[in-house]
Structure 1
Amino acid sequence: MDDPPLQKIAISGPTLASLIHRFSTSPSSIDGLLFGHVTSVTPLNLSDDSSDDNSPTLLATITGFLTSSSFHDTSGSINTASLRRLIPNSTSLIGWFSGRRRTPLRPSLREFNTTSSLSSLSQFSSTIKPSSNSFNFKNFNPCLFLLLASPISDQTSHIHTHDYRAYQFISGTHSFKPVSLDIINIGPAFRGHYGSFSPNSPFPVLDCQLGHSPMIRDDEDEPLSKMKQAAKDQKELDGCAEEFEVGRLSRLMGSEAKSYTQGLEDMYLRMLLKIENLTSLVEKSSAKVLEQENHNRKLKHKILRSSASE
């Protein structure tokens, strides 16, 4: 069974920038593997019109890469033993990439053979994350190919241009199908890509009601030690989150979190300023320590010379 067609391919800005940097700093052409995951996405524009195609579509997301040409030979045949050693644990292989200089932006015969051989290896297929039970495909073979190239004309300026294009190899027709490549960046227009994000280390449960009401009776008062600990926690939190009340932290963990994103970003900027000031203080103190060590060393040499002359 042929691989299902991809609607688009997504890659994060830092991953693409790192890949282009690796290509631009290499003295020659480079090859490597692409890792990521494939997800079936159900269209949101549902309607009662039976002519509309509301079947799930596929989105391939590139999350990492590895530069190596040892998984294939010059003719494009895949070395499965070498390929198995190159794939890290808990990662899914979805394709490979090639970067070459001053060449047309179209796949070569060697790249065609390599992609064809790689896409036929079902033992390296990745599991598709389905969005509905009606999706018939379960596995996705590594049939992606990302081509990077520099312009054929000589570059005489300090501005370097790199072109790239993504393809999916269709086994049934033995041909490349161009697929649009979306660059995912951080910002308001791309927050939909992070809607399903769940942190590995969630926020701990915080007691956001640290105030003490005078209406509480004396026999219901908390122990003095617990109140002192709460005041200590409040002071530590105030030091870490200046001008950001503890009560507002509870709103960052619920359904109202989106409306308080700006406040969290402001707090983060203030923390960065604190870190920058601390870094400056550490540099100054290190310089003083080094200066004192040099002074002590010179003084020691002077004393040793004086003792030797006597």
Structure 2
Amino acid sequence: MSGPTLASMIQRLSSSAADVDGLLFGHVTYIAPSTLPDDDSAQTTLDSQLVATISGFLCFPSLLSFYDSLGRVDTSRLSSTTHLNHKPLIGWFSSRRKTPLRPSMREFCVTRSLSSTPNLSLPIQNSDPDSLFAPSIFLLFTTPLQDQFIQTNQYRAFHFQSSRPCFNPLSIDVVNIGPSFRGHYGSFSPTSALPFLSCELRSLTPMNEDRNEETLIGMKQTEKDQSLLDTCAEGMQVGRLSRLIGPEATNYTAGLEDLYEKMLLKTESLARLVEASSAKVLEQENLNRKLRYKVARSVGVE
């Protein structure tokens, strides 16, 4: 999982008034072994070649959010929650304070029920189309039993093995940007590429470009392409992008650099919007906490 995702989870759990739990979203990738053993009998298991990546989470305000006290999953509530997130479910997490860092019997039952729930398995990337992975990842957060001057959060990941019901501890690799993590980006593939635009090679010359824009169909297509381009680049014109295609593209290196810069500007503006919305959400949570405190205090006085 990424460093910002883990930091966001810890911040959300630390700011909660009580113990909470939630769902984990992401994907599972099959990693082919890089070395081949000399001994044919030395076979690695499938679990050792699977990498689960946590890309998001959903935190509920209290425990027993999608299951009952016996650890049985409420499929109706779980289905509505996962449908709204539009992300594959790979497991769940639990946060409890001043408790040992080991799963409880209820958490064992919840994970077992979740992994056996039908229609929740997700396909494994870079594997056979029929290969599925049940949501069997469990992430546990706790705090030390004794109070400390520095706030400390402990966490450990587990994988539930349904063949012989038990928890297997997993190693957590927090991916951050830096030289030591450069290997994680060796097989990088963009997930938000440029949209498909009808930038034809005939638009390389200014004469053809003006002729294309003078027609009604060309103007409508240009407006459509411009609206698509605005979603991923800030202030980039379709006409300039058209001239970057074809044999004369080598003369427009500066244009490519400008396109990349404007894409970064778009990403920066989106990041600022997310930062502003997160600040408003935190402000609203603090306001709700104060209101709950006032209501509880007024009820106690009465």
Scaled to the shorter chain, the TM-score interval is: 0.5 to 0.7
Partner amino acid, structure 2, of 1:61: T
**Alignment check: 8 A CA contact 1:42 1:131 kept:** no
Partner amino acid, structure 1, of 2:192: P
Residue 75 of structure 2 is matched in structure 1 by 80
Q: Secondary structure at the match of 2:177?
A: coil
Q: Deviations over 1:50-91 (max 9, x none)?
A: 355467621111111111242111221111111111113532
The counterpart of 2:161, out of the listed 166, 170, 192, is 170
Identity %: 41
- Closer, same or farther: CA 98–251 of 1 in aligned 2, 3 Å: same
In the alignment, the residues of structure 1 paired with residue 208 and residue 168 of structure 2 have an alpha-carbon distance, to the nearest angstrom, of 71
Q: Deviations over 1:260-284 (max 9, x none)?
A: xxxx7xx69x979x99xxxxxxxxx
Residue 192 of structure 1 is matched in structure 2 by 185
In the alignment, the residues of structure 2 paired with residue 96 and residue 64 of structure 1 have an alpha-carbon distance, to the nearest angstrom, of 11
The counterpart of 1:70, out of the listed 60, 65, 86, is 65
Q: Secondary structure at the match of 1:19?
A: helix
- Closer, same or farther: CA 246–32 of 1 in aligned 2, 3 Å: same
Residue 111 of structure 1 is matched in structure 2 by 107
In the alignment, the residues of structure 1 paired with residue 44 and residue 164 of structure 2 have an alpha-carbon distance, to the nearest angstrom, of 25
Q: How high is the TM-score relative to the length of structure 1?
A: 0.60
Q: Which has the higher helix share?
A: 2
Relative contact order (C-alpha < 8 Å, sep 6+): which is higher?
Answer: 1
Q: Secondary structure at the match of 2:193?
A: coil
The counterpart of 2:33, out of the listed 43, 51, 58, is 43
Give 1:118 deviation, angstroms.
Answer: 1.1
Determine whether 1:91 maps to 2:81: no
**Alignment check: 8 A CA contact 1:128 1:140 kept:** yes
Partner amino acid, structure 2, of 1:35: F
Determine whether 1:30 maps to 2:30: no
Q: Secondary structure at the match of 2:16?
A: coil
Residue 19 of structure 1 is matched in structure 2 by 9
- Closer, same or farther: CA 271–141 of 1 in aligned 2, 3 Å: closer
In the alignment, the residues of structure 1 paired with residue 190 and residue 45 of structure 2 have an alpha-carbon distance, to the nearest angstrom, of 24
**Bigger Rg, which one:** 1
- Closer, same or farther: CA 252–143 of 1 in aligned 2, 3 Å: farther
**Alignment check: 8 A CA contact 1:42 1:55 kept:** no
**Alignment check: 8 A CA contact 1:115 1:145 kept:** yes
**Alignment check: 8 A CA contact 1:104 1:149 kept:** yes
**Alignment check: 8 A CA contact 2:175 2:184 kept:** no
In the alignment, the residues of structure 1 paired with residue 56 and residue 208 of structure 2 have an alpha-carbon distance, to the nearest angstrom, of 53
Unaligned 5+ residue runs, structure 2?
211-235, 242-250, 270-302
- Closer, same or farther: CA 171–95 of 1 in aligned 2, 3 Å: same
Q: How high is the TM-score relative to the length of structure 2?
A: 0.61
Partner amino acid, structure 1, of 2:189: S
In the alignment, the residues of structure 2 paired with residue 271 and residue 171 of structure 1 have an alpha-carbon distance, to the nearest angstrom, of 47
Q: Secondary structure at the match of 1:88?
A: helix
In the alignment, the residues of structure 2 paired with residue 191 and residue 85 of structure 1 have an alpha-carbon distance, to the nearest angstrom, of 34
Partner amino acid, structure 1, of 2:171: S
In the alignment, the residues of structure 2 paired with residue 39 and residue 143 of structure 1 have an alpha-carbon distance, to the nearest angstrom, of 15
Give 1:172 deviation, angstroms.
Answer: 2.1
Q: Deviations over 1:106-132 (max 9, x none)?
A: 011111111111111132111222336
Partner amino acid, structure 2, of 1:104: P
Unaligned 5+ residue runs, structure 1?
1-10, 208-220, 227-231, 238-244, 254-263, 276-310
- Length, aligned pairs only: 227
